[in-house]
Structure 1
Amino acid sequence: MWPSPLRLTRGACALALVLAAALPARAFDTRATAAWVMDLSTDTVLLEKDSHRPLPPASMSKLMTIYMLFEALRDGRVTMDTTFAVSSRAKAMGGSTMFLNEGDRPTVAELIKGMIVNSGNDACVVVAEGLAGSEEAFARLATERARALGMQDTTLTNASGWPDPGHRMSMADLGILATRLIEDFPEHYPVFAETHFDYKNRAPANSRNRNPMLGLGIGADGLKTGHTQEAGYGLVGSAKQGDRRVVFVITGLGSDKERAEESERILNWAFRQFSLQTVAPQGREVAQAPVWLGDVPRVALVPAREVRVLVPAGQTGAVTARVDWQGPLQAPVAAGQIVGEMVVSVPGMPDTRVPVQVAQDVAPAGFLRRVGTAAGVLAGRVTGMLAF
């Protein structure tokens, strides 16, 4: 059903891309030094705090190594049973490890769990060397791939997030990466929710997933913690409740306890302070556009996808909408052709923009209709756009 009250206006503009704009950072006062929070169900950025500044990402940058390995799986370059060699460089990695030894031949499936659950620096080096020959070559490839994914604030010098002055990512970039992992690889994403992995029973004490959100009953199912002295404590997290999924990235917290508290505060705020409303189902007629020299005078316009918006708790302002297109449309037009956009406005929130498309084919008019239309033009009877 349409939210009430709803007002639909008319206008004309060129088709615009769907853009996400953030609410003011003051809407939530986070203790993190930098943060980014998005509602994936509506592509709405709920919070940005210094989110585009390149910062040391610590182990959160392992997500890029994981993404590169998932792509290799998708492309058929490796399988879950493919084994990689463990170099002396990989074995010598300090910090968090999955306790690999030279002579081991871990499978891709084991290395995925080693990187995600154990946060294994050694596993990341093994994957980097297995995919690119060396960690340095892998870092260059990963940086190039990150930029292609839209992560313009990312420069990687290693595969694990090991401290390095040139190894930097922004919180917004980590949010992009988390979103891509969730949406591009739904078959692999459940690994992020696994809580224990112990390679060959070598280190039961290090087998626990460090993500403090898992198991709290709030829908959390990923993704990656990070901590170094320079970066502080950070987390790339995600949770799903009902039809909504929220992804968030925080960094610069003072302790693992503070990180856990701040993560839970952010999720509670994101889910409880906004409600999801459906404005128009996919395929519902929202406007009619006149057709120039068509076999029918006008055609229905429908949204290209379901139109949903977030409404802040206690919001008393009206939800308004308009459908913009340039018209009249020129026959012939094809069903599914994008001709404009629907813009939905909620006070205090960024506008939601969804492309609108033609609902059915419209063929060119026959001779008599063309003559009648031409006469109408001469008589000044051509109308402008119609509002639904």
Structure 2
Amino acid sequence: MEAESGTVIYEKNADAKMKPASVTKVMTLLLVFQAIENKQYTLEDIVTVSEHAASMGGSQCFFEANEQQTVEDMIKCIIIASGNDAAVAMAEFTSGSEEAFVADMNNKARELGMENTTFKNACGLDADGHETTARDIAIMSRKLITRYPDIFNYTSIWTDTIIHKTRRGEKEFGLVNTNKFLRQYQGATGLKTGYTSTAHYCISATANRNGVKLIAVVMGADTKENRNTDAAKLLDYGFARCYAYTDKKILQKNDIKVLNGDREYVKITSVSDFNAVLLNGEKAEDVKKELVLYDDELKAPLKKGDCIGYVKYTVGDRTIGMVAVNTGEAVGEKTYMYGMQTMFEHIIRK
């Protein structure tokens, strides 16, 4: 999947329901970062580990009940060490209980259009009915990395440490990234691996080359090596068929006529350069752009920075993006004196 547009470049059995193992934590992290964005808590806030969270098996960071860690250290434990105990602790911290958090996970899945996903826990341990698809994993992975690109500050960490703070004192605990793909594939940026004896080896792999960002999902591989090989093949296939397109000269003209204004034209500006990804043989010379105004005619008064429309980019029938267009200056309403002046100038010119 191309991350910016969500376009699927290649798929095979993309809607087959399978167990996702710790790739589940992509949704857990999405809800955690959403809570931070909504100012529910901060990276510095303190999380207390419950007995339930501390009891999680599988991959873990060996937290004790009542141990406390910051939200940021919990995020590191989830991403780097794939800690089930950390994932459940954050679920409880976010929604009050793991059960309530799982309901939030499933609601978010419906919101994102993940039609074949049901979560039963926050960490990915095998459970009856806990299942998803490669397509749905790609959808939630895309949402996480495009909405919260700061996630890459954590997924790119190879090793780190936390300090266990328990009744027996403080002890350093090392975190080593479970995602070995990071060091095996040029441009790899994340995202999450998973394994259980039932789910086998899974990965949602993200990579970035020359401005193109891709997501590759592999589920149910027999070995780590096969999982990573398949992910690399998918990404290679995608990068061979995608390339970045940039337009720095958005506007073909830099002013527009204004009605009833104290000047006849207003300067217009684009808010940014335009960047997109062309897919499967699309060529730069085939890109078309069109200035679309929200109103058929601009009327004064106008403030500097008013959004008056956008430039739409298309390739064939596919819209590849838009850039907003603003006024570059203020325009006041035409006054009686301005009207007399322009009329007089018109007479003089004649």
Fold agreement, TM-score > 0.5: yes
Q: How does 1:196-275 map to 2 (within 5 A)?
A: 196=159, 208-216=176-184, 218-228=186-196, 231-275=199-243
Within 2, Cα distance between the matches of 1:256 and 1:182?
Answer: 24
Return the offset for 1:352. Answer: 2.8
Q: Secondary structure at the match of 1:310?
A: strand
- Which consecutive unaligned segments of at least 5 residues does structure 1 have? 1-36, 374-388
Deviation readout 1:43-102 (Å, 9 max, x if unpaired): 462526476787643311212323333455562635546242341x33443322223344
Return the offset for 1:220. Answer: 1.6
Higher mean C-alpha displacement, 343-352 vs 125-134: 343-352
TM-score, length basis structure 2: 0.75
Within 2, Cα distance between the matches of 1:188 and 1:312?
Answer: 26
Q: Note if 1:306 corresponds to 2:273.
A: yes
Q: How does 1:90-101 map to 2 (within 5 A)?
A: 90-101=53-64
Q: Secondary structure at the match of 1:233?
A: strand
Identity of aligned residues (%): 25
Q: Note if 1:135 corresponds to 2:82.
A: no
Choose which of 306, 310, 313 in structure 2 pairs with 1:341. 310
- Counterpart residue identity of residue 274, structure 1: C
Change (3 A) 1:335 1:146: farther
8 Å Cα contact 2:48-2:66 kept in structure 1? no
Deviation readout 1:179-205 (Å, 9 max, x if unpaired): 45445555554221222457668998x
Within 2, Cα distance between the matches of 1:57 and 1:250?
Answer: 10
8 Å Cα contact 1:39-1:46 kept in structure 2? no
**Higher normalized contact order (CA 8 Å, seq sep 6+, divided by chain length):** 1
Within 1, Cα distance between the matches of 2:42 and 2:311?
Answer: 43
Within 1, Cα distance between the matches of 2:124 and 2:44?
Answer: 24
Which residue pairs with 1:77 in the alignment?
A: 41
The structure with the largest strand share of the pair is 2
Return the offset for 1:214. Answer: 0.8
8 Å Cα contact 1:285-1:300 kept in structure 2? no
CA RMSD of aligned residues (A): 3.9
Which residue pairs with 1:362 in the alignment?
A: 331
Choose which of 287, 292, 300 in structure 2 pairs with 1:331. 300
Q: Note if 1:280 corresponds to 2:233.
A: no
Q: How does 1:155-170 map to 2 (within 5 A)?
A: 155-169=118-132
Within 1, Cα distance between the matches of 2:279 and 2:35?
Answer: 41
Change (3 A) 1:46 1:307: farther
Return the offset for 1:281. Answer: 4.8
Which residue pairs with 1:295 in the alignment?
A: 262
Within 1, Cα distance between the matches of 2:340 and 2:146?
Answer: 52
Within 1, Cα distance between the matches of 2:329 and 2:15?
Answer: 43
- Which consecutive unaligned segments of at least 5 residues does structure 2 have? 165-170, 343-350
Which residue pairs with 1:385 in the alignment?
A: none
8 Å Cα contact 2:267-2:327 kept in structure 1? yes
Return the offset for 1:260. Answer: 0.7
Q: Secondary structure at the match of 1:268?
A: helix
Return the offset for 1:327. Answer: 1.9
Within 2, Cα distance between the matches of 1:210 and 1:314?
Answer: 36
- Counterpart residue identity of residue 276, structure 2: V
